[in-house]
Structure 1
Amino acid sequence: MFPLTSMAVLAPRRWCASLRIVAMLATCLFWVLACAPPEPVRIGFLGGLSGRVADLGIGGRNGAILAVEMRNQQGGINGRPIELIAEDDQQDAAVAVLAVARLLARKVELVIGPMTSAMALTVLPQFNAAGIPLISPTATTNALTAVDDQFFRVVAPTAAHVFKSAEHHFCRSGLRRMVLVCDLRNKAYSQSWADDFRTAFERLGGQVTAAVDFDAGESLAVVASRVLASKPDGVVIISNSVDTALLVQQIRMRDTAVRIGTSEWAATERLIELGGRAVEGLVVAQYIDRASTAPTYLAFLRAYRERFGHEPGFPGLTSFDATNVALDALATRSRGQSLKEALLAHAAFAGAQSPIHFDAKGDAQRDTFLSVIHNGQFKPLY
């Protein structure tokens, strides 16, 4: 046994050794934490990434990927990397609701998307309840206009731009009797677009002789016959690129003279790929100025082509813009400020082709451009 005097000396020594070990562990922990990569800023993407009409969603996702990759190359947001989490809504309401639940569970700051008005109306209640912004690149339904909620968009509602198509068909093409064809799978958009076109076209003195609705699985040959039944001099198809291309083929088999136009929804490269010679001369409304020489747009175009090997079209451009809007708002948000407040407080966001301004309800203005398909390419009309 140790003498009492030895025990008295030994206890402090052990205590000091323990303190040294604790200090060393604390120092190691400090350096481990200091050297660990910062927590990423997580944002989501929601769009239709599978199925026969996935070109819209894939273009949107790729535009978001490009914006995130470019921002990460610049150091991310305040030194934190950005992580993009993409979910496929399959253009199905039940699937979309579950996809949003997964995104919210991952603690995303916001979500880019969805790419159609129907899906936006479906999932918006989830975002309003969570207090997280939803920034759509392409949803234009008037049903979401001037509503104080978490919804933002970088394109204008249909009421702000459809008149341009109506004016062209009446004044420049001389059409007087039109049939409107609406895809019911995105009725929130197609009905909104059709209603605004009808109002503008009839105000000019034209007549909408019929409105033909169609849904998934319906024979496009039957639809084409219904479209031509009233013997119109013009037809406007409000549908996705795939069904527009196939329906134009069916119409051309029955009538080679009737003039045909589309809404912006169909204006992807898939329309030309599938439509072939049948879509030559088709008047196509666009959210993108394909003749733009803006340096920021040309830089985006080069970067997108190099990264993905195909044209971005309007989905790639508008999603690139929407994602950059989100990243700018995250980077400039002040302490205690919600992301919605940061988005609304920003005077103007830089878009690849034009500035983006939100009004007090999160709506933006964006011009629409008319083109014609000529020799397998979209050519600006004027």
Structure 2
Amino acid sequence: MHTRATAPAPHEANRLDGPAVRLGALVPLTRPGWVEAGQHLLAGLELGVREVNEGGGIGGRPVELVVRDTAADPRRAETAVEELAAMGVAALVGEYHSVVARAAAARADALGVPFLCSSAVLDALTEQPTRWVARLAPAQSHGWRTYADFLLTAGHRRIAVAAEPTVYWRSGTRVLRDHLAPRGATVVDLDMRELGPTELCDELVAQQATAVLLLVGHPEPAVPIVEAVRQDPRLKEILIGAPAGQPEFAEWAALLGEDGAGVPFLRYLPERLDPLGLRVGAALREALSEAPSFVAFEGYDAIAVLVDVLRSHGTDRARIAEAWSHVAVEGTRGAIRFSRTPGIGVWQWVWPPVQVVDRDPSRPDRFRVLHTA
């Protein structure tokens, strides 16, 4: 089990007294997890903890981030939650992959450990309503309906979904179909267990699709699919979309170059960052040696929320869970407050900013905002 703990630097620790307040962090840091997303999430979490300790910690006590690598494995996440709970962490934070976050949320609920999910979007994060779990990321139904509106505005009425049969991708397909069908659009479901990239191209031509959405893992099989579609002269005009955000990260651009530009995806940033967001963004860029993704901002905001709760309500787990409804924190992407939302069993920020963006074909290192919620 991967272990990484972030404690205050020596000069900071000298100004802090008492036992550390431990927070357990769930992050994908090895394959088959989306490692780059995990690195950005961890950078945001660590920056938040460092700034808290520089500001005096929690009542003079240092905050310690105890990290567990989930590697996109739900069982590994469950084990990590049990281990961290036994260590006495005040709360859990993090996780990028929705299926993993769902497993972690179920164990946190069963064990009575507060869990602030930073980045997973699956609507049904828990089977039943729970007081123990809150979430910063928007629900999949909210974000993906925004993406569907973008497709409609762009004139697409015959949309193919190249999907793998996981809970997350099936849920996304259902959101798209339920939103698009009543508005005159057709969603064609193509099972990527049965099709290779070449066969997919043939199906796109046969189905007369004007857009194909990649509801698949990255880099495999997303990258070979993009390469095949871009090289097929029959599909010169088709839109390739990736609502789950694969093109956000530098690895996408490194692997695909110009072929990876012009692929719209969802990200959760405002059109303009306020002074806090600009300051945090600069610090994240320095830590990552590249532009921070929205996932890094989610990590930072998650720590800001937990610290606010810990300072106002203490470190008792039950009191932390009772505090979700009282949160009022200025995050890097806007004012954060949690509420109960129909169909979602956890405390939810309603809503973070949602954008549809792509990499500019003329400058693939630059993003263009195409649509906002």
TM-score range, shorter chain: 0.7 to 0.9
**Matching residue within 192, 196, 208 for 1:214:** 192
Cα pair 2:132 2:321 within 8 Å, conserved? yes
CA distance in structure 1 between the partners assigned to 2:160 and 2:315 by the alignment: 54
Alpha-carbon distance, 1:47 to partner: 1.8
Match of 2:168, SS? helix
**Matching residue within 208, 215, 218 for 1:231:** 208
Which one has the bigger strand percentage? 2
Alpha-carbon distance, 1:207 to partner: 0.9
Cα pair 1:236 1:261 within 8 Å, conserved? yes
* Residues 180-202 of structure 1: per-residue CA shift (max 9 Å, x gap): 12244xx3322222211111112
CA distance in structure 1 between the partners assigned to 2:329 and 2:206 by the alignment: 47
**Equivalent pairs, count:** 341
CA distance in structure 2 between the partners assigned to 1:101 and 1:70 by the alignment: 28
Cα pair 2:267 2:356 within 8 Å, conserved? yes
Residue 367 of structure 2 is aligned to residue 378 of structure 1: yes
| TM alignment of 1:105-184, pairs within 5 A | 105-144=86-125, 147-171=129-153, 173-184=154-165
Structure 1: stretches of 5+ with no match in the other structure: 1-34
Cα pair 1:48 1:115 within 8 Å, conserved? yes
Cα pair 1:181 1:211 within 8 Å, conserved? yes
Q: Which amino acid aligns with 1:311?
A: A
Residues 250/80 of structure 1: CA separation in 2 closer, same or farther (3 Å cut): same
CA distance in structure 2 between the partners assigned to 1:263 and 1:188 by the alignment: 15
Alpha-carbon distance, 1:68 to partner: 0.3
Cα pair 2:158 2:209 within 8 Å, conserved? yes
Cα pair 1:269 1:313 within 8 Å, conserved? no
**Matching residue within 190, 205, 224 for 2:169:** 190
Q: Which amino acid aligns with 1:300?
A: V
Q: Which amino acid aligns with 2:61?
A: R
Moved more, 221-230 or 360-369: 221-230
Q: What residue is the counterpart of 1:46 in the other structure?
A: 26
Structure 2: stretches of 5+ with no match in the other structure: 1-14, 341-345
Match of 2:209, SS? coil
Moved more, 109-118 or 187-196: 187-196
Match of 2:338, SS? coil
Which one has the bigger helix percentage? 1
TM-score, normalization: structure 2?
A: 0.84
Alpha-carbon distance, 1:380 to partner: 1.4
Residues 226/113 of structure 1: CA separation in 2 closer, same or farther (3 Å cut): farther
* Residues 286-340 of structure 1: per-residue CA shift (max 9 Å, x gap): 1123x41411110111111122312220210111111211111111105976111
* Residues 139-159 of structure 1: per-residue CA shift (max 9 Å, x gap): 111213782242211022122
Alpha-carbon distance, 1:271 to partner: 2.3
* Residues 206-235 of structure 1: per-residue CA shift (max 9 Å, x gap): 111x212336x9854555555554231111
Residue 306 of structure 2 is aligned to residue 299 of structure 1: no
Say which one has the larger Rg. 1
Residue 273 of structure 2 is aligned to residue 280 of structure 1: no
CA distance in structure 2 between the partners assigned to 1:335 and 1:265 by the alignment: 35
TM-score, normalization: structure 1?
A: 0.82
CA distance in structure 2 between the partners assigned to 1:199 and 1:98 by the alignment: 36
Q: What residue is the counterpart of 1:242 in the other structure?
A: 219
* Residues 42-84 of structure 1: per-residue CA shift (max 9 Å, x gap): 0011121012631111111111001001111101111000000
Alpha-carbon distance, 1:242 to partner: 2.3
